[in-house]
Amino acid sequence: KEHGADLIGGDLTATKVPGGYLLNGEKWPINRATISGVSYILAKTDQEDGGARGLSLFMVEKSRLDPANYYNLPKILTHGIRASDMSGIGFKDCFVPEDMLIKGEGAGLEVALKGFQITRTLCAAFSHGAGDTALRTTLKFAINRVIYNKTVFDIPQPRKILVDGFLDLLICDCETIGAARGFHVIPQQFSVWAAVVKYFVTVQLETMINNISSVLGSRFYMREEHDWGIFQKVLRDNSIISVFDGSTTVNLHALILQFRQLTKHRSRRNSAKMEAIKSRLEIIFSLEKQLPTFEPEKLEIVGRGADDALQGLEIALEQLKDLKAANLNTKVLEQITALTECVIEEVNAHDQQIANSAFEFGHDQSPELFEIAKKYCALHAAAACVHMWIYNREILGEFFAGGEWLVLSLNRLLQPFGHSQKVDQLYWEKVTQEMLKLYNENKVFSIVPFQLAQTQKQENKTNASSELQHA
């Protein structure tokens, strides 16, 4: 409670005794701390060390503990996820047997940080679900709400906001699917990719939800009137995703500490390394390719400078140039190619900026470096979109293959860098029609749109009752 995200600074101790350890101290806040049967506890086993090797991780099974020696902390009142057991757990001379220790004394921080690479990446799924629901309920309102003798959806500005939200979901989809598959191919690189996903996807979709709230107008703040006030619930529930399992600051900081190695590694690529990157990218991004078994033991705390998604962009550029003979819209392909060149240009500028900087390792990094890290994440997402399109344009349907969505997505990601291309209004119309199609077919807003569950009961009322106002 006193140390925030500083894992090394925690106060909970584990003192060695015959047959096990005595735990003392509290962990707070912890989701499911009270109702779960098992808690993973990071504790100081070497109180004199005070560093990373002084921490050990325990898998504490409550059924094997003396109830007199541990206690649950009160549920925390939160703005969102109100049904969640957000609480804590405390120990007072609580004996835990030695077999609850994971991987031996001193390995706790290493195991925890590697585990975070998995959980941080999977957090993106929460954001996707929230973003989909927010866009779906807002689109429903816009289609049916008539004002000034036309629907809200027919008004250009709210229509553009909704389509931008749809593009954000597609962009994040490429990043998240690539990451989920990447675990099986390049687990050694996930100190980078997990940090990118946890920052970029959660923040991008959090921003998207805030943006589309303007389409609902005052109804976004009402508990009645539209879809039981679900938008406001999603807004509140989703806000925590960018915070838990490593906040935006924590993940950007994790990237910053690896910038030197990433820059050096990219400058040392040769033809053999590029061929290896190309082979890995195809397995990661081609949804037809079978994945190898995930090997968590290959996770590394630092990625030693490798980041295939960005370091393989020159490969993608050559692949795009080879598509000139394919049956594609020439203008669309030219714009995708030009925008990919812009991404490479910005990656080169990033590397030069880091190479020329006075960057040093440590906790206290400049605000400028955090802004550079944010841009790195945007470039990473752009690369993921390009790779995803190259390897799946023949298998994911006409809309995906057309590439108009990719031009708009790359334009959107590159705008903060000062790059943008004028696009045909037809591109926007195609993306708009795809969004409406998925909405009408009740399919998820995704590059791989699967069918959503159908409700069997038709409600005759679409707003919360006054009896729920106290909830």
Question: What is the sign of the dihedral through the CA atoms of 247, 253, 259 and 262?
Answer: negative
216 three-class SS: helix
Closest by CA position to 325, among listed 314, 317, 333: 333
Residue 195 · residue 252 · CB < 8 Å: yes
93 and 239 both lie in a single domain: no
The answer to whether residue 450 is domain-embedded is: no
User: Do 138 and 182 reside in the same domain of the chain?
Assistant: yes
| 29 and 125 both lie in a single domain | no
Q: Which of 64, 82, 106 is the last residue of a domain?
A: 106
**And the tokens for 8?**
């090394």
Our CA dihedral for 346, 349, 350, 351, rounded to 10 degrees, sits at: 130
Closest by CA to 220, choosing from 211, 228, 229, is: 229
Q: State whether 53 and 150 are in the same domain.
A: no
Per the CB < 8 A criterion, the answer to whether 170 and 444 are in contact is: no
125, part of any domain: yes
Q: What is the pLDDT of residue 470?
A: 46
- Give the range of the structural domain holding residue 64, as residue numbers without chain letter: 13-106
- The confidence score (pLDDT) of residue 471 equals 43
Which amino acid, one-letter code, is at 188? Q
- Same domain as 127, residue 36: no
Q: Is 132 in the same domain as 19?
A: no
- Domain finish residue from 106, 123, 141: 106
Residue with tokens 């994040």: 172
Q: Is residue 261 part of a domain?
A: yes
CA 464 to chain centre: 31
Let me know if residue 451 belongs to a domain.
no
Last residue of a domain, one of 50, 83, 106: 106
Residues 79 and 212 in one domain: no
Q: Are 434 and 195 in contact, with CB atoms under 8 Å apart?
A: no
Tell me the CATH number at 327. Answer: 1.20.140.10
In a domain, 448, yes or no: no
- Encode 79-134 in three state secondary structure: CCCCCCCEEEEEEEEEEEEHHHEECCCCCHHHHHHHHHHHHHHHHHHHHHHHHHHH
pTM: 0.93
Residues 124 and 102 in one domain: no
The owner of tokens 């590694």 is 265
- The total of structural domains in the chain comes to 2
**Do 337 and 193 fall into the same domain?**
yes
Residue 129's Cβ-side half-sphere holds a number of Cα atoms within 13 Å equal to: 13
Please check whether residues 40 and 59 belong to one and the same domain.
yes
365 within a domain of the structure (yes/no): yes
Residues 6+ apart with CB under 8 A from 49: none
- Whether residue 157 lies inside any domain: the answer is yes
Same domain, 137 and 97: no
| Any domain includes 453 | no
CATH of the domain at 38: 2.40.110.10
* Helix H or strand E encompassing 70: strand 70-73
Task: List per-residue pLDDT tens for the chain, 471 residues long.
Answer: 777 667 887 889 999 999 999 999 999 998 899 999 999 999 999 877 778 899 999 999 999 999 999 999 999 988 888 888 999 999 999 999 999 999 999 999 999 999 999 999 999 999 999 999 999 999 999 999 999 999 999 999 999 999 999 999 999 999 999 999 999 999 999 999 999 999 999 999 999 999 999 999 988 777 777 888 889 999 999 999 999 888 999 999 999 999 999 999 998 899 999 999 999 999 999 999 999 999 999 999 998 899 999 999 999 999 999 998 788 899 999 999 999 999 999 999 999 999 888 767 767 788 999 999 999 999 999 999 999 999 999 999 999 999 999 999 999 999 999 998 899 999 999 999 999 999 999 999 999 999 999 877 666 665 555 554 444
Q: Are residues 41 and 159 in the same domain?
A: no
